[in-house]
Structure 1
Amino acid sequence: MEQGNVHALEGVSFDLRAGRTLGIVGESGCGKSVTARSILRIIDRPGRITGGRILLDPGTPQEVDLAALDPESARMRAVRGGRVGLIFQEPMTALSVHYTVGNQIIEAVRQHSDISKAEARNRAIELLREVGIPRPETRIDAYPFELSGGLRQRVGIAMALAGDPDILIADEPTTALDVTTQAQILALLRRLQAEKRIALMLITHDMGVIAEMTDEVAVMYLGRVVEYAPVAALFAAPRHPYTRALLRAVPSVLAAPRQRLATIGGAVPHPGARPAGCAFHPRCAEVIPGRCTAEMPPAIPPGIAGASCFLDVPA
């Protein structure tokens, strides 16, 4: 049934800088993965971008607005997997079961470089070695089902690096992995970023990962950035009630035994049933009746630390 336009994202703004890590955090359904897919123009139909800009190389003669490009154009395909790499969030299903991991990496390499298949195979072996896969000369001919979850995720990282990207988007890269493997994957991402000066965008719902990995944090709720801050400032003095609620819900080794975890009442609304005023107000313990329920708080200016909340804005 036709229901008109439903905005999955609205007022999302942030910067990605070389050698820095931006964390995107929020509950499921807040728009984190849609943000990543919008940058690469791989939104599932009938979804589309209706406004805004996605600037690559801003302020330079090479500046290009990705939002203005045809998703199927040669220029966009050169950016997708070339200048910008994406690590998908589910290592168990992100790879095709019908092809060896080598075939899939070789295809990604040849998509963005004019080299022979033999040269691409050597490059794929080099990438597998770079991401810490043992015996890459034999593992390159393995099928995904022959590899553990951790090795599959490393293959996914190798594919994302195949085009030698300037920007790497990691969409929940530790999902479904055990804690030891999670730590290894995060250490790998940190090492690769330091070596290659990659701008890393790390999407997660794990505040511990945010604290360990990121330089700046954008907190999202229902398709909108509600707080943006350096990571130390966010944990020391969160400015939005939603951020404070997320931090209260983090388990602590210092908590009393058998103490119940704090929860956020209710659930993230459907974008088609967005509440009037501040979208978080039905779940907010600090709601201002008559204001939060009727007015939308101002958006956070790009690159400026702050919160989209009336409690953070001078009257």
Structure 2
Amino acid sequence: MVERTSLAVRDLAVHFEMEQGTVRALEGVSFDLHAGRTLGIVGESGCGKSVTARSILRIVDRPGRIVGGQALLDPGTAEEADLIAMDPESRRMRGIRGGRIGLIFQEPMTALSVHYTVGNQIIEAVRAHNDLSKAAARDRAIELLREVGIPRPELRIDAYPFQLSGGLRQRVGIAMALAGDPDIVIADEPTTALDVTTQAQVLDLLRRLQREKNIALMLITHDMGVIAEMCDEVAVMYLGRVVEYAPVADLFTTSRHPYTRALLRAVPSILATPRQRLATIGGAVPHPGARPSGCAFHPRCSDFMPGRCDAASPAPLRPGEAGASCFLEAQP
């Protein structure tokens, strides 16, 4: 059975014009989101994961601007629409943002306004995408709080964010993302700053909601354990590019890019010898404004081939095809 493609991102490029020069935050990012499936976006901080999410929703902060690419909603159908070509402040785009595509922000401690009750904030989101009275919107907000597992939603709806734990605030954030009944949800590190028990509860909640509503889920994280538990396919990003794309099982058993293998080696193991030093990736992610020549990963790569990796960039991956953007792919 072929899954319906809900969103197709093609060659997305985002630049930030700074006083020091142009920062190329994204360079040719491509992937597909399928209904009822989860695509994981993984990589170190600074690799462009959150910029990708914000670009799709057309909320990139200035001085950032989208300089190329497409984000096709319902590709291949009569309703196909390119989000990149739309005016970000148009009524249609505002309807899609929150209506068709929901966003779960990465920091539950700061994503909610401290000046309003959680009910007021959810009701505002509900009424923005539904023609409902205040009373009906309040009933819908209570229903959403109940859906995401908040106990006594009739009372919690009048609570302020500071009166809730981090886990409950994250559930409120998920409820707000679902207020417009979207068929695509982007979860930007939804378990950040949560303890492991609460993390597990939030992930179980996302999995249940996806199953019940057939949501296409884009899960941004730096946690390979979350990737293993939640995702169907994985896109590994490094310095604004997708360097490997694979089904999740293949990524963990036969990863093909040196960066992916380095990420996996850095994951702590319960089978490791006690007091053994954890593996690390040498160096750091370069500043996007000082991108190395050739393959961006070559200064940190254990498989670096002088005269090749530093002379040209590997070919980008074709959307939806498993593989790695690496010269090792062409080796016999």
TM category, shorter: over 0.9
State yes or no: 1:190 paired with 2:181. Answer: no
Higher relative contact order by CA 8 Å / sep ≥ 6: 1 or 2?
1
Letter in 1 for 2:199: Q
Shift of 1:6: 2.1
- Quick one: which of 95, 103, 117 aligns to 2:112? 95
TM-score (ref. length: structure 2): 0.94
State yes or no: 1:127 paired with 2:135. Answer: no
State yes or no: 1:298 paired with 2:315. Answer: yes
Q: Deviations over 1:183-226 (max 9, x none)?
A: 00000000000000000000000000000000000000001000
Query: What's the counterpart of residue 56 of structure 1?
Result: 73
Shift of 1:312: 1.1
Aligned pairs (5 A) from 1:218-233? 218-233=235-250
Distance in 2 between residues matched to 1:313 and 1:178, nearest whole Å: 43
Shift of 1:98: 0.3
State yes or no: 1:46 paired with 2:63. Answer: yes
Shift of 1:7: 1.3
Aligned pairs (5 A) from 1:209-248? 209-248=226-265
State yes or no: 1:136 paired with 2:153. Answer: yes
Q: Post-superposition, which runs of at least 4 consecutive aligned residues in structure 1 deviate over 4 A? A: none
Query: What's the counterpart of residue 311 of structure 1?
Result: 328
* Structure 1 portions without partners, runs of 5+: none
Query: What's the counterpart of residue 10 of structure 2?
Result: none
Letter in 2 for 1:144: P
Letter in 1 for 2:183: D
Distance in 2 between residues matched to 1:166 and 1:145, nearest whole Å: 30
Query: What's the counterpart of residue 129 of structure 2?
Result: 112
State yes or no: 1:68 paired with 2:113. Answer: no
Query: What's the counterpart of residue 259 of structure 1?
Result: 276
Query: What's the counterpart of residue 173 of structure 1?
Result: 190
RMSD between superposed Cα atoms in Å = 0.8
Query: What's the counterpart of residue 164 of structure 1?
Result: 181
Shift of 1:11: 1.5
Query: What's the counterpart of residue 154 of structure 1?
Result: 171
Shift of 1:3: 3.9
State yes or no: 1:18 paired with 2:43. Answer: no
Report the secondary structure of 1:8's partner residue: strand
Q: Deviations over 1:87-146 (max 9, x none)?
A: 000000000000000000000000001110100000000000000000000000000000
Distance in 2 between residues matched to 1:314 and 1:57, nearest whole Å: 37
Q: Deviations over 1:247-296 (max 9, x none)?
A: 00000000000000000010001110000000000000100100001100
Query: What's the counterpart of residue 285 of structure 1?
Result: 302
Letter in 2 for 1:148: S
Greater strand fraction, Structure 1 or Structure 2: 2
* Structure 2 portions without partners, runs of 5+: 1-17
Shift of 1:2: 3.2
Count of residue pairs brought into register by the alignment: 315
Shift of 1:4: 4.1
Distance in 2 between residues matched to 1:269 and 1:72, nearest whole Å: 33
Identity of aligned residues (%): 83
- Quick one: which of 98, 101, 104 aligns to 1:81? 98
Distance in 1 between residues matched to 2:105 and 2:306, nearest whole Å: 41
Distance in 2 between residues matched to 1:314 and 1:18, nearest whole Å: 36
